[in-house]
Amino acid sequence: MKVLVAVKRVVDANVKVRVKADKTGVELANIKMAMNPFCEIAVEEAVRLKEKGKATEIVAVSMGPQSCQETIRTALAMGADRGVHVKTDAELQPLAVAKMLKAIVEAEKPGLVILGKQAIDNDCNQTGQMLAGLLGWPQGTFASKIDIGDGKIDVTREIDGGLETVSLKAPALVTTDLRLNEPRYASLPNIMKAKKKPIEEKTPEALGVDVTPRLKTLKVEEPPKRKGGVKVASIQELVDKLKAEAGVIQ
């Protein structure tokens, strides 16, 4: 089974995000970038499937500017076999990404597509579901466990009431949750090997996809700073403040 994994380049999870002065977005200049943590989990799961003999080849796909190739190289160092880079400087939104992934899936014909459930930069949680819809494939979202059997994929997924297991007929799509696995660190020998692994370049135009943004960001603002607390002398004073100042009780 060939496994295709989508990976996204985002601001490093350990970096404090700053809003631009003009409030049009977040500051990306001279900021440390890294692979989206949920995408790391997706790559790790694909590599584990290959180590178990369930997967034969892992293809890592990323979309964006030239710098996205660094993210693909990270996936290759973790164990992916080759990469596909859709090169574009346009602002990519979930539907456009899903359409480009659909074109790549139709060309590659994988038995399983794994994506992180969301990216930590926009938290959309849409691309996986949109891609499954466009492909007409069964999907298992928020996966905390994946078992592959004869022509089927059992996915244990996290839901509000606990855990739910769904059985998907391959080919299928899975999005990963935090508790699926712990991603490995790429070793130095594997990092060196990754430099020699092939990365195929494509463009949105070659895939027949219009990436013109359909959504417009009006303004980006930092959340209000937390105010200091106060001490109250009595329960009655607390109740009065909750009524008059906070307005949380009648």
Report the CATH number at residue 56.
Answer: 3.40.50.620
pTM of the model as a whole: 0.86
Give 227's pLDDT tier (boundaries 50, 70, 90): confident
pLDDT surpasses 90 at 167: yes
CA distances, 150 to each of 55, 146, 155, 246 (Å)? 13, 13, 14, 58
pLDDT surpasses 80 at 247: no
The per-residue pLDDT for 250 is 73
Tokens (6 digits) for 244: 């008059």
Q: Supply the DSSP string of 152-186, one letter for each residue.
A: EEEEEEEETTEEEEEEEESSEEEEE-GGG--PPPP
> Could you tell me if residue 67 is inside a domain?
yes
Count of domains observed in the chain: 1
Residues of the chain above pLDDT 70, percent: 100
> Could you tell me if residue 73 is inside a domain?
yes
For 38-69, the pLDDT digits (tens) are 999 999 999 999 999 999 999 999 999 999 99
Domain span holding position 24: 2-224
Whole-number mean pLDDT of the chain?
Answer: 93
> Could you tell me if residue 235 is inside a domain?
no
Sign of the C-alpha dihedral computed for residues 93, 95, 97 and 99 taken in this order: negative
